[in-house]
Amino acid sequence: MTVSILTITHGNVGKELLATAKTMLGKLPLKCETLSVSNTCNPDELMLEAQRICKKIDDGDGVLVLTDIFGSTPSNICNKLKHDFDINVHVIAGLNLPMLIRALNYPQLKLNDIIDKAISGAHDGIIDCQVHN
C-alpha cells in the first residue's frame, strides 16, 4: 500500500510539474493524477471529479492532494474534498517542483509522514541564489 498523489491546480500547473518530475526521475514511484481548473469551470462538477479520481487512485493509504495557491478556486475545491469522509485525503497548498520531488523521494512513507516531507521539501527548495554558494 502506498500514498497516491493528486494535484488540483490552475490550468496545467500540476500537469506540467508532474511531467517534469517524471522526466527527472525516469518514472513516478507513486500513483499520480492531475486535475486542471480553468476560469470557466464549474467548481461543483470539478469537486465530484476530484472525488472520483481520489477513489480511483487511493491504494489504501490515502491521497495527498496538492494545490498551487491557498484561497483560490483549486484550493477551495480541495478543501471541500477533505470533508468527504469516504476518502482519506490530506491537502497541502503551495505546490512547487521541490515539494513534488521530495514527496516522490519517499514513496514508502504513510500519509501522515509524507506530509512533513512534502512541506519541508517545498520550503527547502526556496533558495536565494545570490547568497547560496
Partner 1 sequence: MISKDLTVANKLGLHARAAAKVVALASNFASEISLQKGDRKINGKSIMGVMMLAASQHTIVNVVVIGEDEQQAMTEIENLFNNFFDEEE
The least CB distance from residue 19 to partner 1, in Å, is 13
User: Cβ(94)–Cβ(124) under 8 Å?
Assistant: no
The least CB distance from residue 105 to partner 1, in Å, is 5
Q: Interhelix angle for 97-104 vs 111-124, to 10°?
A: 140
Write out the residues near partner 1 by the rule CB under 8 A.
23-26, 98, 101-102, 105, 121, 124-125, 127, 132-133
Residue ranges in 26-110 assigned as alpha helix (H) = 43-57, 73-81, 97-104
Nearest CB to partner 1, comparing residues 112 and 120? 120
The least CB distance from residue 129 to partner 1, in Å, is 9
User: Cβ(36)–Cβ(114) under 8 Å?
Assistant: no
Give the Cα separation of 18 and 101 in Å (integer).
9
Nearest CB to partner 1, comparing residues 25 and 48? 25
Nearest CB to partner 1, comparing residues 2 and 72? 2
